[in-house]
Amino acid sequence: MAADCTVKARPAHRIVRIAEDGRPRIEAYRCENCGAVTDSQTMACRACASRKPPASFGVGRTGKLWSWSVVHRSYPGVAVPFISVIVDLDDGLTLKGTLRGVDTSGLRQGLPVRLVFDDAGGAHDKEGVPYVGFHFVPQGDA
């Protein structure tokens, strides 16, 4: 078997999907009966118990800040401070993540942010395969 010259990265977070061409995307699930959105493929709808499994849909990367905390002490070995945020994505999924590239004085509910895929802090698995993670930046930033 020929060696694969392009190593497909692995998701660093359960919400990240990686296509055959290696491009990451965010996928969520919506109930066709009641419209409830969830982050995982459940057997029935978590909100209305409809037996029709929620259908997957691609989630856009823009959203708005719902809540946040500037974390000054975390578990041993975790670099601080960082800004932990809750973001309501415009397509209807809420995600927790780290917000970068913003002064803490600019934090406010409703701040428009964008999800950016990253290399999950440069992490690799045991076989040296890289990970794909994400963080948030204020909209307008790269």
Partner 1 sequence: MMSDVYIAGADMIAFGRYPDRAYFQLGAEAALMALDDAGLSIKDMGAVYASSVFNAQSMLGQKMLKEIGQTGVPCINVSNACASGATAVREAFVAIKSGLYDAVIAVGAEQNPRGMLGGAPPFGPPPEGLFGSESMPAVFAEAGMVHAARYGTTVEQFAQVAVKNHHHATMNPKAYYRRETPLEEVLASEIIAEPLTKLMCSANVDGAAAVVLVSERKARELGMGRAVRIRASVLASDPYEPRNPEMFDPNSVTRLAAAQAYEMAGLGPDALDLVELHDCFATAELLHYENLGLCGDGEAGRLIDSGATALGGAIPVNVSGGLLSKGHPIGATGVANIVEIVEHLRGQAGARQVDGARIGLAHVLGFGAAAGVHILEKA
Closest CB to partner 1 among 12 and 102? 12
Question: Contact, 80 vs 104, CB < 8 A?
Answer: no
Interior angle at CA 28, CA 129 and CA 60, nearest 5: 85
Closest CB to partner 1 among 2 and 128? 128
Single out the residue of 18, 86, 116, 137 in contact with partner 1 (rule: CB under 8 A): 86
User: Closest separation between CB of residue 36 and partner 1, Å?
Assistant: 6
Question: Could you give the string, one character per residue 31-70, with x where binding to partner 1 holds by CB under 8 A and - elsewhere?
Answer: -----xx-x------xx------------------xxxxx
What is the contact surface with partner 1 in residues (CB under 8 A)?
10-14, 36-37, 39, 46-47, 66-76, 78-80, 82, 84-86, 88, 92, 94-98, 108-109, 120-121, 123, 125, 131, 133-135
